[in-house]
Amino acid sequence: MKKNFTVVLAALTSLLARCPVTVGADMAGPDPATGLQSGVVFSGMTALSQNAELARRLWSPLKAAQMQRELARAGKVLGEQPVTLSEEHFTVYVPPARPANGYGLLVYIPASDNSRLPSGWASVLDKYGVIFISADRSGNAENVYDRRIPLALNAATSILARYAVDAKRVYVGGTSGGSRVAMRAALAYPDLFHGAMLNAGSDEIGNDFIPLPPKDLLYRFQESTALVYMTGDADSVNLDKDSASRGAMRNWCQFNLDSETMFRTGHSVANAGALSRVLELLAAPPVPDGKKLDACRADIEKDLDAQMAQAQALQAAGKREDAKTLLEKIDRRFGGLAAPRSLALDDALAGPIK
């Protein structure tokens, strides 16, 4: 646990104060530009990317609490925002014709630091009326928590402030490592992203690496977020990872899943045909089966209740270390679902022995 916490703290201390920013939104001009735009700069930032909110949504409750305690002991605090948006640059593509109900939006997280529009995508984006935006310096070499996800969040909210966008058609996607980050963003921010394009990269959720978000967000993710896995038939490693990821999604009651295979393709960015299929599927997501969803949730709650009761019994019996070990396992598996009970027990176990 000590080694894991050291890794967590090292990642989270990168979120310390840098410079103050004003949370706001870019106002739409009388005639927002269309077509391909490079080096676009935005000036307002969203509260969704504040460091405290990132920690709440992306870290398990116990790890977030441990991080705060460690920072307090060091006399440090989290800064408000991890990036200064006015210093960042984005590539934006806006179709020439706006759909009657507003544009769709695809926030794309690349694997490399180049935010260019992939070849062949413009005509597909025109067909479906979807705006594309991608941030510079948000590739695999960049930090997930203080750059890649915050930049994706601000990309989305900046476009929403500037253009008429159908909120139900706001998606996040990526390729390879960018796809894995997009999946995390979709899980943690279902109130912003209603679908995800997972192109040649995915992970299992509900573990130490990708903990579950708070209950209200997880339930919203289950109900209103659609995931489309898109991987080449020759990309065997990621096909296996996609299968494991879909299995974990179903275990955690996420049934809005589709999978498409790009034939005669290895580890590659989706081509125009694949992108078209993804946008079709995201525009018409499956309707969740309410009874199936309720039954799945009830099974998870029953399991969680039993494990929490066991941890509380260990604490009551004076077996503090055993209780701590079990609580850490609960935190890794159930994440935000276990809060606030997990946090209350953690506080009790951290107190003096009676």
Q: For residue range 96-113, list pLDDT tens digits in order.
A: 999 999 999 999 999 998
- CA 165 – CA 180 distance, rounded (Å): 25
105 φ, ψ to 5°? Answer: -145, 130
Rounded-to-5 percentages of helix, strand, coil across the chain: 50, 15, 35
- CA 323 – CA 316 distance, rounded (Å): 9
User: Which residues does 350 contact at the CB level (< 8 Å), separation at least 6?
Assistant: none
Task: Name the residue among 178, 183, 211 with its Cα closest to residue 195.
Answer: 183
- pLDDT at position 81, please? 96
- pLDDT at position 136, please? 97
- pLDDT at position 166, please? 97
Q: In the structure encoding, which two tokens stand for residue 334, read together?
A: 């159930």
Contact 73, 137 (CB under 8 A): no
Asked if the bond preceding 340 is cis, omega within 30° of 0, the reply is: yes
Helix H or strand E encompassing 255: none
DSSP assignment of 121-189: HHHHHHHHTEEEEEETT-STTS-IIIIIHHHHHHHHHHHHHHS-EEEEEEEEEEETHHHHHHHHHHHH-
C-alpha 72, offset from chain centre: 27
Q: Give 106's strand partners.
A: 132, 171
DSSP assignment of 170-182: EEEEEETHHHHHH
Low pLDDT (below 70) residues in the chain = 1-31, 351-354
DSSP code of residue 47? G
- CA 110 – CA 175 distance, rounded (Å): 6
- pLDDT at position 26, please? 40
Domain 32-288, CATH number (from 3.40.50.1820, 3.30.1490.20, 3.30.300.30, 3.40.50.970): 3.40.50.1820
DSSP code of residue 212? -
pLDDT in tens, 79-99: 899 999 999 999 999 999 999
Q: Which value, in Å, is the radius of gyration of the alpha carbons in the chain?
A: 21
- The dihedral region occupied by 20, where left means phi > 0, alpha psi between -120 and 50, and beta the remainder, is beta
